[in-house]
Amino acid sequence: MELLSIMSSTSGKLPAEKERELIRKARAYTNPAYGCPPEKRPIREYIEKGVVNIDKPKGPTSHEVAAWVKEILEVNRAGHSGSLDPKVSGLLPTLLGKATKGVPALRLSGKEYVCLLRLHRPVPAKEIRRVCKEFSGPIYQMPPIKSAVKRALRVRTIYYIELLEIEGMYVLFRVGCEAGTYIRKLCHDIGMALGCGGHMQELRRTKAGPFTEETLVTLQDVKDAYVFWQEDGDESELRRVVRPMESALSHLPKILLRDGAVDAVCSGASLAVPGIVSLDSDLKKGELTGLFTLKGEIIALAKAKMSTEEIMGASTGIAATPIRVMLDVGTYPKGWISKEEGKVVADKEMEADPEMNTEG
């Protein structure tokens, strides 16, 4: 049968690919004597606070791949962004060492797959297109019998589904979906809706949160880069295959803190409005957000207590509470915490001497 290509003219986007804009609330400076831009960390610290966007091959489990990365790079911990079945290939972003604290934020981000569906009998292309459109948006799913979660009906969102090719009983499509969507079950349900049955023939993950195939590296790439550094002292390839952990959290709405507020948050204090320099233009109350230094270092994952509009219009109050702290206490000098509500207040003396600081 003649190959029918129906590739979409515009590819869909995951929520993590949303374009974000920072707006300034206050002027501040960051002292170069404290902290470090993520890409300039000493190489051992760079690895311990890094992420590798592994191209998982077919065969091994996701756990095995993460364990191999951990062994190659000689780190104590490694955690991946969400399991892929042994027969599935594609993106497996793996966070290293201290960066593993960011795994939940990455694991809950959207994913994209390219899937080959095999129908159990031929169906007109027009009918396939019609039925696939019905699977966009919220859908009900019952996890398969062989799954790591409790079998209970749940809702998952399909952000987009794009038919790429149809040939006989084979349908190639791209799908962007919420974390926890079972593509094998999606194939089964599409087959049922078409009245012919169907199953997943092949699957590859092509996006995971902010990661795409453009930054993929193989296990061999990781091994070679580490050997180059160990034997020749050449860090360049290792800095290419390992990326700063902040790249795994780039999809989160951001709040940038002044230097004087950083250490208090590292100690678990809530972030008050006076500690904020810039923030995402579309931050929503209750949303998971990333607290960053003016040098771009992730301080903590936090829950927003105010929206952007509320923060911009306030001079006091708690703006966010840390959920998981990722920067070590003492990286920045201590600021002052008021006795009421643990409010973080800027260190005015540090700001007042621009000769000791660089603008952030």
What's phi and psi for 220, nearest 5 deg? -65, -40
Annotated active-site residue 263? The verdict is no
Give the CA radius of gyration of the chain.
23
Active-site position among 55, 85, 259, 328 = 85
Helices (H) and strands (E) in the chain, counts: 10, 22
The conformation of residue 270, written as its DSSP 8-state character, comes to P
Cα–Cα distance for residue pair 189/84, rounded to 1 Å: 20
Task: Report which residue type is found at 353.
Answer: D
Query: How far from chain centre, in Å, is Cα 225?
Result: 24
Beta-carbon contacts of 6 under 8 Å, excluding residues fewer than 6 positions away, are: 125, 129, 163, 164, 165, 166
Residue 167's CB: how many other CB atoms inside 10 A?
Answer: 12
Residue with tokens 């190659």: 72
- List active site positions: 85
